[in-house]
Structure 1
Amino acid sequence: MSHQPDSEPVKDLGLFSQHVGWTFADPSVMPVAERPEAWEQIHSHQNVLDNVEIEHERFSRGGSAAIYKGILKADDTRNIQVVVKCYAAIHEQGKSRVEAYEKAAQLIAREVKVWRNLNHPNIVRFYGLVMGNTFPWNTSFVPVEPQYPAVVCAFCDGGKVMEYLQKNSEARRLPLVLDAAQGYVYLHKYNIAHGDVKPDNILVKTTTDGVRAVVSDFGSSRMIDEADFPGTLSYTWPYIAPEIKKPPYLYTKATDVFCFALTALVIISGVQIFAEEEDRFIARHRLELGERPKRDDHESSEMSDEVWKLLEESWVQEADGRKSMADVASTLSNLLSANN
């Protein structure tokens, strides 16, 4: 099932095979090296095709991927609810299909390299890849290269955090903000900049203790210590730090903190940044010029003076003047403890 013309034959596993060694680099540089006992029976570098049962109808879509729900059979007694993220190549005008496949292969490799070994309660769990899959490809919105791998990760039954809060209006918001902050603290501890911090990339899952927010989507993440791993410059207005539009155009921990402050404000209040602006480009431009949201536009019973001060200290214009994500999480934790 190839969408390439005859002059551009499909190689074994497509162009992704050129990046497999890069994707599964030495795990000693990643968090899992500190706690190898945390590996599941299904290792992140395994082809888990034989262990996954997928639903035939597409669950959702996002960017250049179709998303299906499924079941991962970890062993004879344990089944894990998962989602399977099936990637596709976007064919840009003036570019060949091979170029589109090469770009997609690099993007998949980048995301998996960052995600594959992360292990934290506030990070969506990565379970493995499905290579040479035979899943239903009813992805009519973009042409699909069926030999690309699909990513298998944990299913979050609460969905995106804003959708969860709309359905559960009485739910407390600050604990979910703290959950997400702790996920970003974990990434920053290992010199990983998430690169696309926004409400849509924070999901909610049910646990034995209630609900928990988890960080998702590592397609724009950057391993800061690796000069040849710049990350993918992708953002959603207005969740973009002002310095990202200037050289060297790289995500940093400070850009994550800026975007997290805006994200936290929206989660706490339920109101978008500069909601009065129909043109989101104008909202982004106002942020670039140094304007910030006003507290009166984001009223909430959970918006105390201390929380507002924390947000203001986290979205200052100059990157080196912002709080660290660890300081943000620590302050949120202390505020929640004091109010319980």
Structure 2
Amino acid sequence: MARGFRSHDCIEDQYLFGRGSKCNYVLDDPDDRGSNKFRIYSKKHFRIYRDGSEVFVEDYSNNGTFVDGILIGKGKKLPLVNNAVLALAEQRNKVFVFIDLMFDDQSTLPKELQEKYLLTRRIGTGVCGEVRLAFERSNCKKFAVKIINKKNFQSEGTATRNAKTEIEILQRVDHPCLIKTEDFYQTDDSYYIVLELMEGGELFHKVKSQQQLNESIAKLYFYQMLRAVQYLHSNGIIHRDLKPENVLLSSQDDVCLIKVTDFNQSRILEEAVLMRTLCGTPSYLAPEVFTHASTTGYGLAVDAWSLGVLLFVCLGGYPPFHESFGRQSITDQIIRGEFTMVQSKWKHVSDQAKDVVRKLLVVDPSKRMTIDEALLHPWLQVTQVRGSDTRRKRGRDEGDEEEEEHPAKRSQALPRGLL
């Protein structure tokens, strides 16, 4: 803090700094009121404000506000992190130091990452590490940074292999329903993958909060999942861990773009090669992963099964295979392909939607519906969509006046490359 200035505890959500008497913090010397040395500051010079758990500084001045030597620009903003230095009017005129009492040290991050991005709060965790919200310094654009800690693996070789495969896949794929990678960095201890941020969060949380998705919304999401997986398979990539936690939503709105993410368990298949490892989330694994992983192996059909489980969860609001169902273990239930569509949960779901679920949850992978066949199923055709929406409307609660939009109309909001 420069001489003549005083400390200020930022307790409220926002504060305005400037020479003007109406500012929360008046830029003036109490011992020398009206001093000319303060004339370089604007009447409204900058604003510090909180948005959720992040803190930003917005520049109102023609003379400029600098954060760690970087000019913000009038009408623009930058996030503030612990020990950020604010300079006013001139880059050398360092006036304030922002001290974050929720301080999180970023000195361990790769230098190139620190120079381009500001990492803030944690927005997700997993077996491999965590996901942090980040801002690009140049324009304040939001990103998600996936941090993979090599020490969280039994062997560093496993971490390196999985991370390198994930990075290779992320850099190879280009589809509107697959998460995009922006940058990649690493240290001796960790990998840092910078990804586009999906503001709507995980499909898991939407299903959990709504219990059951409206059939037309489930159809919209499922169609996009099918397109994403179809693209992966056409490029020789098997996902192996499709579940609601790995499907991200672009917004909080029901009608939105989805993206499949998390390729840590994914593999790039060579021609005629079958997988022979047991991995993924148990309740979403196909029967052949348990029965043939160590012998004849398994192929792309495992993703079709996982999508069947995913659709079941979206439409029914509960998993088809669970330890609370009967005396059999989850593995035995999956191997036998035994599940129950509880009448009270499925009475408003169309027969065609149920047919898609049943044809995907076929134990024999050679008889299971493929991704291409699923996309051609009548439930996903426009002529049938209209009828199923009509039936769904009749099953709605009395007094619910919201009209459902035709999926053909919804598709107009999606990137053209999706259709």
TM-score, with structure 1 as normaliser: 0.69
Q: Which has the higher strand share?
A: 2
Indicate how the Cα distance of structure 1 residues 197 and 280 shifts in structure 2: closer, same or farther if over 3 A, else same: farther
What corresponds to 2:258 in structure 1? 213
Equivalent residue number for residue 110 of structure 1: 165
Q: Which has the higher helix share?
A: 1
The amino acid that maps onto 1:164 is K
1:221-300 alignment, distance < 5 Å: 221-225=266-270, 233-245=278-290, 246=292, 247-248=294-295, 250-275=297-322, 277=324, 282-294=329-341, 296=343, 298-299=345-346
Residues 213 and 285 (structure 1 numbering): CA distance in 2 closer, same or farther, change over 3 Å? same
Give the deviation of 1:165 after TM superposition. 3.7
Retained in 2: the 8 A contact 1:164–1:204? no
Structure 1 residues 258, 229: CA separation in 2 closer, same or farther (over 3 Å shift)? closer
Corresponding residue of 2:204: 162
Please tell me whether Structure 1 or Structure 2 has the larger radius of gyration of its CA atoms.
2
CA distance in 1, matches of 2:142, 2:231: 24
Residue matched to 1:82:
143
CA contact (8 A) 2:146 2:194 kept: yes
Q: Is the 8 A contact 1:193 1:222 kept in 2?
A: yes
- Could you list the per-position Cα deviations for residues 258-286 of structure 1 after superposition, in whole angstroms to 9, with x for gaps in the alignment? 11101111012211224571799812311
Q: Is the 8 A contact 2:127 2:152 kept in 1?
A: no
Instruction: Please tell me the residue identity of whatever aligns with 1:150.
Output: Y
Q: Does 1:68 align with 2:132?
A: yes
Partner of 2:385: 336
**CA-CA distance at 1:69 after TM superposition:** 0.5
Whole-angstrom distance in 1 between the partners of 2:146 and 2:327: 28
Query: What is the aligned partner in structure 1 of residue 118 from structure 2?
Result: 53
Q: Indicate conservation of the 8 Å contact 1:198/1:263, yes or no.
A: yes
**Which stretch has the larger CA shift, 322-331 or 223-232?**
223-232
Is contact 2:218-2:311 (8 Å) kept? no
Letter in 1 for 2:123: F
Q: Would the alpha carbon gap of residues 196 and 248 (structure 1) be closer, same or farther in structure 2, given more than 3 Å must change?
A: farther
Q: CA deviation at 1:71?
A: 1.7
Shift of 1:195: 0.7
Counterpart of 2:360 (choices 288, 292, 314) is: 314
* Matches for 1:84-233 after TM superposition, within 5 Å: 84-90=145-151, 100-132=155-187, 146=189, 148-167=190-209, 172-206=217-251, 210-225=255-270, 233=278
Report the CA distance shift for 1:113/1:229 in structure 2 as closer, same or farther (over 3 A). farther
Q: Contact conserved, 2:200 with 2:252, CA < 8 A, in 1?
A: no
Maintained 8 Å contact 1:161/1:203: yes
For residues 177 and 298 of structure 1, do their structure 2 counterparts lie closer, same or farther at Cα, with a shift above 3 Å needed? farther
Aligned-pair identity (%): 19
Equivalent AA in structure 1 for residue 385 of structure 2: L
Question: Which structure carries more relative contact order (alpha carbon 8 Å, separation 6+)?
Answer: 1
Residue 145 of structure 2 aligns to which amino acid in structure 1?
V
**TM-score, structure 2 normalization:** 0.57
